[in-house]
């Protein structure tokens, strides 16, 4: 009887130790997630994931003879890094790979004109919204009068960037299109539009305007799909302190009016690059 009792006591002790170990492990994992800010500050760099074909948000420009990624998103990211007292490292990739890279911890933050949709919020956490834009279309200048409403898109070929809000808009609001063509890069869609392989590209107005300024044969259309979900920075889930630091920077920039200035400067820079 005593032996059985001792075995039970031993089993209970082992179970308690196991539960404590699991609890400590979980706490360590939670602590690791919440220490992302410390991890970044210890490394001395903030790794930004973006997709640099989206002027004036982010794009390539020649600065002092060197090709650099610039744009108002980049200026915002620089301010976030500065407030954390770290350097900014930029990783350029296709837009549809950004969320996977963030979840895999290959990048620390996404600032890429990304709308904070409910679907994306299931995978990542978003900062305070820092910009809202109108959803419109880029069309050939000769077709400006052809498209005045969404119904005019019937039996036409629509281009969208893959894994974007605009791709969702096309499938939800332009169901009678002849074709919805999804590509990874907007620059490739612009070529398709220029060559007549598609008839319109759904874009936010600032981006459509930037590409129209680069090509006299292209223009913003009269069609509007309404405002998009607010654009925000994205981080991996469970990083409250890191997210709070980002929000503090964004709130400062918004209150100062700096983001409006960043946008104006980026539009001017994109226009200058197009003329060179």
* Mean pLDDT, contiguous 10-residue spans, the chain (276 residues): 42 43 42 77 98 95 95 98 98 97 98 96 97 94 97 97 94 95 94 98 93 92 91 97 98 96 90 71
Residue 28 lies in a domain: no
pLDDT of residue 133: 83
Domain that holds residue 93: 36-131+230-275
Same-domain check for residues 248 and 115: yes
Nearest to 140 by CA among 206, 192, 210: 192
Peptide bond into 56 cis (omega under 30): yes
C-alpha 269/C-alpha 32 separation (Å) is: 40
Count of helix runs (H) and strand runs (E) in the chain: 10, 14
Q: What is the pLDDT of residue 276?
A: 61
- One domain, residues 115 and 149: no
Same domain, 118 and 241: yes
Query: Are 251 and 140 within one domain?
Result: no
Asked if 245 and 204 sit in the same domain, the reply is: no
Predicted local confidence at residue 34, as pLDDT: 61
Domain membership of residue 2 (yes or no) is no
Q: Are residues 216 and 236 in the same domain?
A: no
Establish if 218 belongs to a structural domain.
yes
Q: Does residue 84 fall inside a structural domain? A: yes
Burial 154-183 (b: 16+ CB within 10 A, else e): eebbbbbbbbbbbbebbeebbeebeebbbb
Q: How many CB atoms lie within 10 A of CB 121?
A: 14
Residue 176 covered by a domain: yes
The neighbour count for residue 26, using CB atoms within 10 Å, is 10
For residues 210 and 270, is the Cβ–Cβ distance under 8 A? yes
User: 121 and 199, same structural domain?
Assistant: no
Q: Give the number of domains in the chain.
A: 2
Same domain assignment for residues 127 and 234: yes
Q: Are residues 40 and 150 in the same domain?
A: no
Residues 74 and 107 in one domain: yes
- Pair (222, 244) in one structural domain: no
pTM of the model: 0.82
- Extract the tokens encoding 226: 């309404």
For residue 138, what is the domain's CATH number?
3.40.190.10
The answer to whether residue 27 is domain-embedded is: no
CA gap 186, 112 in Å, rounded: 13
Q: Assess if residue 264 is contained within a domain.
A: yes
* Distances, alpha carbon 42 to alpha carbons 37, 38, 46, 87, in Å: 9, 6, 10, 11
Assess if residue 44 is contained within a domain: yes
């Amino acid at each position: 009887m005593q032996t059985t009792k001792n075995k039970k006591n031993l089993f209970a002790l082992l179970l308690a130790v196991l539960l404590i170990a699991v609890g400590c492990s979980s706490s360590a994992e939670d602590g690791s997630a919440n220490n992302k800010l410390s991890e970044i500050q210890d490394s001395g760099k903030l790794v930004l994931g973006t997709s640099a074909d989206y002027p004036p948000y982010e794009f390539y420009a020649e600065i002092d003879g060197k090709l650099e990624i610039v744009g108002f998103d980049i200026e915002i990211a620089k301010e976030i890094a500065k407030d954390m007292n770290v350097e900014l490292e930029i990783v350029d990739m296709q837009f549809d790979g950004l969320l996977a890279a963030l979840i895999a911890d290959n990048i620390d933050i996404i600032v890429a004109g990304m709308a904070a949709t409910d679907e994306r919020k299931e995978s990542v956490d978003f900062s305070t919204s820092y910009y809202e834009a109108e959803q419109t279309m880029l069309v050939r200048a000769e077709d400006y009068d052809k498209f005045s409403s969404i119904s005019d898109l019937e039996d036409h070929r629509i281009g969208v960037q893959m894994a974007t809000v605009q791709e969702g808009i096309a499938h939800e609001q332009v169901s009678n299109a002849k074709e919805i063509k999804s590509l990874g890069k907007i620059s490739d869609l612009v070529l398709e539009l220029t060559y007549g392989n598609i008839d319109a590209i759904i874009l936010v107005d600032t981006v459509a305007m930037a590409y129209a300024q680069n090509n006299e044969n292209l223009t913003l259309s009269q069609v509007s799909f309404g405002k998009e979900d607010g654009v925000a920075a994205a981080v991996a889930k469970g990083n409250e302190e890191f997210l709070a630091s980002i929000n503090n920077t964004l709130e400062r920039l918004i209150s100062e009016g700096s983001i409006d200035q960043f946008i104006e400067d980026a539009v001017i820079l994109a226009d200058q690059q197009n003329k060179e």
